[in-house]
Structure 1
């Protein structure tokens, strides 16, 4: 079963926090990364089954936009990323995220 990647990029911390919270509450996904992109932009990355990631990203976008001063800049979903992408991008399961892995 393919493990998808869902990314939401927001402006500011409150929006990314709201998006991450909504993502894990709306679907069975694991947050594998969050951090600063550039100039106040933050991103949160989740992994899970394709349908779950789609549901999580939809909920995260709505929550990020609803947060006070929140703005979702961009988002994307990669349904089945190649394994070599994990060596370049921070989308792999780490020792910190592994205990929360659902699938």
Structure 2
């Protein structure tokens, strides 16, 4: 299991796809999956080494801002075992 979890929440699918594309291209991270929260909110989750996840989230945030859909983001280094179980549930 990787040692960091990164998440970006956007409003709108277009902003989310922009963010996801930027995250995937900017660093060596693995996309865990996404959640369509409702009311237009979508969260994408990635995992990998802490530095790679932070770089990916930073790139994704900038892309989502350009698409005017950024809501929030987070990077969790060394997530608790319970969080890791949730991450496994969202693997594609």
Give structure 1 regions of 4+ aligned residues with deviation exceeding 2 angstroms: none
Question: Structure 1 residue 35: deviation in Å?
Answer: 2.2
Q: Which residue of 1 is the match for residue 27 of structure 2?
A: 27
Higher share of residues assigned helix? 2
The 1:28–1:47 alpha-carbon spacing in structure 2 relative to 1, beyond 3 Å, is same
Distance in 1 between residues matched to 2:2 and 2:26, nearest whole Å: 19
Asked if 1:53 is matched to 2:32, the reply is no
Q: 1:81 aligns with which of 68, 79, 82?
A: 79
Gaps of 5+ in 1: 97-103
Is the CA contact 1:2–1:79 (under 8 Å) kept in the aligned structure 2? no
Contact 1:7 1:76 (8 Å CA) reproduced: yes
Structure whose CA Rg is larger: 1
TM-score, scaled relative to structure 1: 0.80
Number of equivalent positions: 91
Kindly provide the CA deviation profile for residues 45-68 of structure 1, in whole angstroms up to 9, marking residues without a partner as x. 00000000000000000111112x
Report what 1:100 is aligned to. Answer: none
Report SS of the residue matched to 1:37.
strand
RMSD: 1.7
